[in-house]
Amino acid sequence: MPSDAQPVSILFVCLGNICRSPMAEGVFRSLASSHPLISRIDSCGTGAYHAGDNPDPRTMAVLRANGIKDYKHKARKVRVPQDFEEFDYVLAMDGMNVADLRGMVKRKGLGAEVGGKVRLFGEFGGRSGGEEVGDPYYGGDDGFEVAFEQVVRFSRGLLEVVEREAEERG
């Protein structure tokens, strides 16, 4: 890795910021919080329904069962335009999240470069066309286990891309 590689910041986004995006944040923190190419990791929701709440207990249970025991978060809504200015990657869990985020970018007239930061997290899973992380909120615990398997896989893929891009820039 080149010594002058610029670290990047990552924002994970879902609807409520209590199930999927905190799970992604917790997993990615456990993989990469001390990685020299990662400067900041956070998560938020496109909606404010749960602002100030802790993550869903089912998200915390899946994290804990997989050895991630120190993750803490309070839900917050995406800040426009600040989050789009401050973060390099704005990674959405499903297509509706992508559309909502791109709509916000467009309404604020933030431009194509900012819009290009918004991507489906599942693009990093290595399957063609990408994958959505389905909303597990109204379902059973198995939905949280499926989401966990996905966010681990996508997080590893993302880290590989960040490392490769730093290599190419250097």
Residues at the interface with ligand 4NP (CB under 6 A): 14-20, 49-50, 135, 137
- Min separation Cβ 8 and ligand 4NP, Å: 23
Nearest residue (CB) to ligand 4NP, 17 versus 150: 17
Parallel, antiparallel, or unpaired: how do β-strands 118-120 and 89-92 relate?
parallel
Nearest residue (CB) to ligand 4NP, 23 versus 114: 23
- Establish whether 135 is a catalytic residue: yes
Instruction: Please tell me which residue in 14, 29, 44, 56 is annotated as part of the active site.
Output: 14
Instruction: Please tell me which residue in 4, 19, 20, 156 is annotated as part of the active site.
Output: 20
Q: Are 52 and 74 in contact (CB under 8 A)?
A: yes
Q: Are 50 and 80 in contact (CB under 8 A)?
A: no
- Establish whether 100 is a catalytic residue: no
Instruction: Report the amino acid identity of residue 167.
Output: E
Q: Which helix (H) or strand (E) holds 28?
A: helix 20-32
- Min separation Cβ 56 and ligand 4NP, Å: 7
- Establish whether 19 is a catalytic residue: no
Q: How far apart (Å, rounded) are the C-alpha atoms in residues 46 and 21?
A: 11
Nearest residue (CB) to ligand 4NP, 27 versus 162: 27
In the bound state, the residue with its beta carbon closest to ligand 4NP is: 16
* Virtual torsion, Cα 131, 160, 25, 62, nearest 10 deg: 70
- Min separation Cβ 142 and ligand 4NP, Å: 15
Nearest residue (CB) to ligand 4NP, 8 versus 15: 15
Q: How far is CA 42 from the centre of its chain?
A: 7
Instruction: Report the amino acid identity of residue 156.
Output: R
Catalytic site positions: 14, 20, 135
